[in-house]
Chains A and B, each alone.
Chain A
Amino acid sequence: MQVFKAFYLILKKHMKPLFIYTGAYAFMLLLITQTAEDNMNSYFESTSLDISVIDRDRSQAAEALTEYLDSRHNLIEIEDTKKDIQDHIYYRYVKYILIIPEGFENNLMQGKTEDLLQHVQIPGSSQGRFLNNQIENYIKQVQIYLAGGQDIAAAMEAVQKTLADPLVETLYFGDKKESRNDTVFYFFQYLPYIYILLLVCGLAPILFALNKKEIQERTLCSSMNLMQKNVQILLGSVCYSILIYIVFAALGFLIIGKDMIRAETVYLLLNSAVFLIFAAAMTIFLCTLSPVNDSVLNFIANTVGLGMSFLCGVFVPQSLLSKPVLAAAKFLPAYWYIKNNNMLAGFSEEPFSRESFFTAVGIQALFAAAMFTGVLAVSKLKRQRR
C-alpha cells in the first residue's frame, strides 16, 4: 500500500488549500440554497414587487391609480429627483417607478392616450413588462367606463372592484403547498459545479505529484507492477471522493434539516454519487493528459465547471435554455444529472418515473466509464511513446 500511503501523505500536505476551497464553496452553496426561491422565481410572476409611484398630478385619478398599485404591490417612497430615481433603479431598491405626469386626469378624461404615463424600469426586465401590462390593463378599463359616459371617480371605483376579484387559483396535485420545501432540490441542483471544482482543484494536485515525470520513472523502475500502482492511486481518489461526498451530504442535512428526510432524498443522493464518480474520472483523465501548474489547473476547473453548469441548466433553469442548446447539452453528464433533479423536484414537464431516472443515472455512469477508458488509453499511449 505504499502508493496509497503516499497519496494520503501528499493529501495531508494539501489540506490547507483544500479546506479553503471546501469552505468557500460550501459557503457559496449555502447562500445559493437559502436564496434559491427568490432567484428562481425572479422571472415573470405575479407576486407583489417593490415599486414607487411619483405623483405629479395630485388628482383624484392619480390617487386612485396609486391606491390600486398599493393594493397589489409594495410602494416605496422616493423623492422626485432624477438622482433619486436613478439611484433607486440602479441599486434595485425598486423594480419599477411609475411617474404620473401633470395633467394625467385631464388627458384621461379627454380620451388622450399619448404620453399619459411615464415609467422607469430596470432596463429590459420582465418585471417591467409585467407592470406595464398591469397598468395598461387598468387604464384601458377605466377608459372603457369613461367612454360609457361615467365620471372618473365612478369609473375608477368600478375598475377597482372588478380587478379585486380573485382570478387565479393555484391547484396542487402533489404535495400541499405548506409541506412543500424545495430547498433540498436547489441544494442538489448546484452540487455538480461544486463537485467538479473540488475534485479538479483538490484531487488533481495530488495526482500531479504522484504522476510527476521523475516520480513516475522511479516507480516504473521499482518492483511494483503498474497495475498495482494505478489501483492504489484509484483507491486513494475514491477515498478522497467519498470524503467530499460525506462532507457535502452532511452539509445538506445541516442546512436543510428535517426536510432532507424524504423519499426523494435517496434518489438525489444516488444521482449525485454517480455524478461525483464522473467528476473523479474526469479529474484523473485530465491529470493523465498533461501535468500543468496551479493557475492553469484552476482555469481548467472553472472553464469546465462553469461551462458545463451553464449549458446544462445548473445555474439557469433548463426550461429557459433553447432546444439546440439542450440538444447539445445531452452530450454532457450534468444535463442528465439536472434532468433527474428537475424530474424529482417537479421542475420540469416530465413526471417522475424510475425508468427514466435510472436511464439518466446510467448515462452518467457511461460518461464516467468513457473517462476511465480514456485514462487507460492515454497512459498506454504514453508508455508506448517512451
Chain B
Amino acid sequence: MFLHCFGYGIKNLLRSRDYLFWSLGFSIILATLFHVAFGDLSKGEGFIPIPTAVVLEESCPQPLKDVLDTLGEPGDGQLLEIQYASQEEAESLLKGKKVSGILFVGENVSLSVSGDMTYDKLNQSILQSLAESLHGSYEAVSEAAARSPEKLPQILAALQKDAAHNQEINYAGRNLDEGLTYFFNLIAMTCLTGSTAGAVTAAASQANLSELGKRKSVTPGKKQVRILAEVAATILMQFFAVSISVVYMWAVLGVDLGSSAGYVLLTVLAGSMAGVSGGFFAGCIGKSSIHVKIGVLMAITMLCSFFSGLMVGGMKLLVQRYAPWFNRINPAALISDSLYSLAVYESHTRFFQCIGGLFIISALFILAGAAMVRRQRYASL
C-alpha cells in the first residue's frame, strides 16, 4: 500500500513537466544570474586605482612626496591615480565626482571626501586608512627620529617591516566570501518552493478539496499511510530537483559549497522536507482553494527567504539583533545557516543544530497536517 502510493506519487510528479521544468529552471537560472552578477564580488575584482586629488602644501616633506609617487606609479601595485591640484581645483573635481577624495599633504596628512558619494564607500575607506597610516607613520618616524637621531636606521627598519602579526583564527581554516551566502539563500528558497507541491499533494487527498481526494477516500486502507506515502514521494522529488540545481551550482558554476557533499545533501533533504511538509500542512487546513493556498505559500516562502537575506544580505543580521528567535524557526535561515556552518566551522555541532531544527519543524508540520486529515467525514463537500 505504502509502496504502491509512493511509486505512483513519484510517477505522477515526474510527469508534471511544467512544474518540474520551472522549479528546476527557476533555481538554475537564478544561480547562473547570481554567478554572473557576483562573480566579481567573490573573486576580488581586479583593483582599479582610486582617482584621488592631492593638494601638496609647501611644508610637505620629501619622504612623503616619495611615498605618494610610489603609490601613484603606474603598474601592478598602483593604488592611486593621482591628480595634483590646488585646493579649489580639487574641490571642484570632488564636486563633479571625478575623484574619490582629496588628500591634503603637508606637515599633516588629511583627507576630504564627498558626503554625496555614498556609492563610493569602499574607495573612501581605503583612502581613509591610507591617510591614517601615512599620517601616523610619518608623525611617528619624525617624532622618534627627532628624539633619538642615532636610531634612525632601526626606526626605518620598523617602518618597513612587514606587519604579519595579526593571525586570523579560523575554525575551518577556510574563507567565505559574501557572494556565497546568496547561493546558500537561493538553495534555501528552492527547497522551500516545495511547499506548493506539498499543498497540491494535500489537496489531492482530501475529499472536500478535490474529486480525486473523494475517490481516494472511499478506498479501503488507512488514509494516513496513503498520505504519508504521497508526502514522502513529494519530498523525494523535491530533494532530487534541488539536488540537481545544487550539483549544477557546484559542477558548472564552480560555487564552493564546501568539501562534504554528503552533509550538503543532508541539508537539501532536510530543507526539502521542511518545505514540502509546510505546504502539506497549509494544504490540510482550511477550505480555501488551492490557488489561494499556493499564493499564500509563495508569499511566505519569499518572506522567509527575505528574512534570511536573499534580497538584502544584512537582513538576517537585523533579525538576529531584534528577534533572534525568528532565525531559529525560519526554515530559510536554518537551511542557509547549516550550509554556512558547514563551510565555516570544523565541528558539526552548529550544523546539526540547524538540521535538527529543520527536522523538528517538518515533523511538527506533518504531524499537525496528519492530525487534521484524521477527520474523514465532512459536514459538506
Do any beta carbons of A and B sit within 8 angstroms of each other in the complex?
yes
Mark A residues whose CB is within 8 Å of B.
Answer: 14, 16-17, 20-21, 23-25, 27-28, 31-32, 35-36, 38-46, 86, 90-93, 99, 111, 113-121, 123-126, 128, 130, 132-141, 143-150, 158-159, 162-163, 165, 167-174, 177, 180, 182, 193, 197, 201, 205, 292-296, 298-300, 302-303, 306-307, 309-311, 315-322, 325, 328, 342, 346-351
Q: Which of A23, A99, A114, A147 makes the CB contact (< 8 A) with B154?
A: A147
Docked complex Cα distance between A114 and B294 (Å): 59
CB–CB B296/A174 < 8 A? no
How far is A114 from B291 in the complex, measured between Cα atoms in Å?
64
| C-alpha spacing A310/B176, complex, angstroms | 20
Cβ A43 vs Cβ B136 within 8 A? no
Consensus secondary structure, chain B interface: helix
The reply to whether B22 and A310 contact each other, CB–CB distance below 8 Å, is no
| Number of B residues with CB within 8 Å of any CB on chain A | 112
A168–B135 Cα gap in the complex (Å)? 11
Q: Smallest CB-CB separation from B46: which chain A residue?
A: A322
* 8 Å CB contact of B135 from A165, A302, A309: A165
A264, B105: Cα distance in complex, Å: 38
Given contacts A147-B144, A296-B19, contact A136 B317 (CB under 8 A): no
- Structural contact, A117 and B165, CB atoms closer than 8 A: yes
Query: Are the C-beta atoms of B291 and A294 separated by less than 8 Å?
Result: yes
Contacts of B112 in A (CB 8 A): 168-171
Cβ A348 vs Cβ B119 within 8 A: yes
B185 nearest CB across to chain A (Å):
11
Q: Is the CB of A119 within 8 A of B139?
A: no
Chain B residues engaging chain A, CB cutoff 8 angstroms: 18-19, 22-23, 25-26, 29-30, 33-34, 36-41, 45, 91, 94-97, 108-122, 124-126, 128-129, 131-133, 135-137, 139-141, 143-145, 147-148, 151, 154-155, 157-159, 161-171, 174-178, 193, 196-197, 200, 288, 290-292, 294-296, 298-300, 302-303, 306, 310-318, 320-321, 324, 327, 341, 344-345, 350
User: What residues of A have a CB within 8 angstroms of the CB of B120 in the complex?
Assistant: 319
Say yes or no: A40 contacts B147, CB within 8 Å.
Answer: no
Q: Given A159-B140, A168-B112, are A299 and B163 neighbors across the interface (CB < 8 Å)?
A: no
17 A-B pairs (CB sep. < 8 Å): A16-B288, A40-B118, A46-B125, A113-B161, A135-B166, A144-B137, A162-B140, A174-B116, A205-B291, A295-B294, A298-B298, A299-B23, A299-B26, A302-B302, A315-B311, A346-B117, A350-B97
B159 engages A140 (CB within 8 Å): yes
Complex contacts, A148 vs chain B, CB 8 Å: 143-145, 147-148, 151, 154-155
CA distance A186 to B295 in the complex (A): 27
Residues of A within 8 A of B288 (CB): 16
Beyond the given A137-B137, A168-B113, could you list 11 further A-B residue pairs with CB under 8 A, ordered by the A residue number?
Answer: A24-B300, A32-B315, A42-B313, A86-B171, A117-B165, A120-B171, A144-B137, A295-B298, A298-B193, A299-B22, A307-B33
How many angstroms between the C-alpha atoms of A205 and B290 in the bound complex? 13
Minimum C-beta distance from A114 to chain B (A): 7
User: Given B91, B96, B124, B193, which contacts A299 in the complex, CB threshold below 8 Å?
Assistant: B193
Inter-chain contact A177/B37, CB cutoff 8 Å:
no
Could you say which of B109, B128, B129, B320 contacts A92, with CB atoms under 8 Å apart?
A: B320
| Cβ contact within 8 Å between B128 and A143 | no
A322 to B42 Cα, complex, angstroms: 11
Chain A residues within 8 Å of B124, by CB:
45
Q: Which of B110, B324, B345 contacts A168 (CB 8 A)?
A: B110
Whether B128 and A116, one on each chain, are in contact in the complex, defined by CB atoms closer than 8 angstroms, is no
Give the CA-CA distance A17 to B171 in the complex, in Å. Answer: 46
> Of A35, A180, A321, A348, which contacts B315 at CB under 8 A?
A35
> Given A41-B121, A125-B178, A310-B33 in contact, is the A99-B144 Cβ separation under 8 Å?
no
A residues less than 8 Å from B165 (CB atoms): 113-117, 136, 139
Q: Cβ of A133: which chain B residues have Cβ within 8 Å of it? A: 129, 133
- Residues A140 and B158 in contact, CB atoms below 8 Å apart: yes
